Structure 1
Amino acid sequence: MTSEKITAETRTEFGKGAARRIRRQNKIPAVVYGHGADAIHVTLPGHETMMALKHHGQNALLELSIDGKTQLALTKQVQVDHIHRVIEHIDFVAVKAGEKVTVSIQVLTVGEAGPDSLVTLEHSELSVEAEATHVPESIEVSVEGVQAGTIITAAEVTLPKGVTLLTDPDAAVVNVAAAPTAAQVEAELESAEAEAGIVHEESQADADEAAAEAAEAE
């Protein structure tokens, strides 16, 4: 994992009003915790920071320049306003090169499973321990050619060198099941509609067809 270099400004104003003023300047309020030191409250350039998070994912490592000093900071929590599509606040944890950290890594499936199968991701993330400067952006699980009825557990997932699994090794990560038939899908839909009390009015065409079938039966 490479770190993005970003110049941060220390801030002394806090609260919702101060945060709104910062965001109006296309900047992002943030705080850096860790290593027994006082939390450092900073302001980050909006576009530059947003692109860094977009490129490096939920565990983006930033090299913050704060008052002339460099601090490695691992992204821990990003608060987003999904209506206005802007980052409202970021929490970082201060880290050092070579230091071990516990993070959650996104799981991605790659490849095409065997015929008539349905791939379900039971765990979208795995908890792992890794060096702060070598946290993988994601973990890929290959389902290429995997047959229906197969369950891939956390212990069977191949992790990058130096990464230790913390999630229960027996936890199901990927479930490759038999794909339902059209009849099964229709039956499940009818059952769900019946439970919800949904009643479909019979169309005139259906009524005419039923009457014709009844007449033929007589």
Structure 2
Amino acid sequence: MSQPNYAFNAEIRTDMGKGASRRLRREGKVPAVLYGAGKEAVALTLEHDKVNNAADHEGFYSHILTLTIDGKKVEAIVKDMQRHPFKLKILHLDFQRVDAKQELHTNVPLHFLNEEDAQKAGGVIVHHLNEVEITVLPKDLPEYIEIDLAGMNVGDNIHLTDLKLPKGVTLVELTKGDDHDQVVVTVSAKKTEAEETADDAAPSEESDADESADKE
């Protein structure tokens, strides 16, 4: 699947309120707000379908986007997105301006390589984290961080301190102290057939409680 162009035309919005937002959505637009970099927040509208199509790509959430507002290009990142609870629609977007001299505080996804190696060794891959929070200058912002699982065996795990970080990237969690060195991925042993049978046969606590209640 080809990567979309993360550039969008945006219009300044002056008509505010829930009613105005509903009208915009009926017209195929999505309301948004742009803030940060020491400047005032600006209410915007964008073409819903173009944004929605781009949002299907992982890079939409970790790339620096370009918003063209009144003919001027502004670089920004997505900070928050509200979706409809059951329709494939975006309800609202929050963008944060990018200042080349200021570090960004954002999340990037983790990409796990060579998972099949650990699985061939009889293990089950358990992902404890699928993204990490980082600080980084805009020029060094990675689309994702790779983790190579080649050579891992049952019982092995990878912590945050084991990650090979791109240049200029700092993991926010590790700035909080040594006890924040979280496990990212583990190779667990597969359950034997006997263990799976025992799990299936064991009555749950909830079932025992229900039986006791019935007897009372």
> What's the TM-score, normalizing by structure 1?
0.82
Deviation sequence 1:165-186 (CA, Å, 0-9, x none) = 2223621101111111121122
- 8 Å CA contact 1:74–1:132 kept in 2: the answer is no
> What's the TM-score, normalizing by structure 2?
0.82
Residue 141 of structure 1, aligned match among 120, 132, 147: 147
The CA distance in 2 between the partners of 1:8 and 1:134, in whole Å, is 26
1:206 corresponds in structure 2 to none
- 8 Å CA contact 1:3–1:61 kept in 2: the answer is no
Identity %: 33
Provide runs of 4+ in structure 1 moved above 4 Å: none
The CA distance in 2 between the partners of 1:3 and 1:163, in whole Å, is 25
Query: Aligned runs of 1:68-107 on 2, under 5 Å?
Result: 68-107=71-110
2:165 corresponds in structure 1 to 159
Residue 197 of structure 1, aligned match among 194, 203, 207: 207
The CA distance in 2 between the partners of 1:68 and 1:49, in whole Å, is 19
| Closer/same/farther in 2, CA of residues 194 and 48 from structure 1, 3 Å limit | closer
- 8 Å CA contact 2:30–2:90 kept in 1: the answer is yes
Residues 1:15 and 2:12 are matched in the alignment:
no
The CA distance in 2 between the partners of 1:4 and 1:179, in whole Å, is 42
- 8 Å CA contact 1:153–1:173 kept in 2: the answer is yes
Displacement, 1:100? 1.4
Residue 173 of structure 1, aligned match among 184, 194, 199: 184
Q: Any gaps of 5 or more consecutive residues in structure 1? A: 199-218
Q: Any gaps of 5 or more consecutive residues in structure 2? A: 175-179, 209-216
- Helix, strand or coil: the match of 1:38? strand
Number of aligned residue pairs: 196
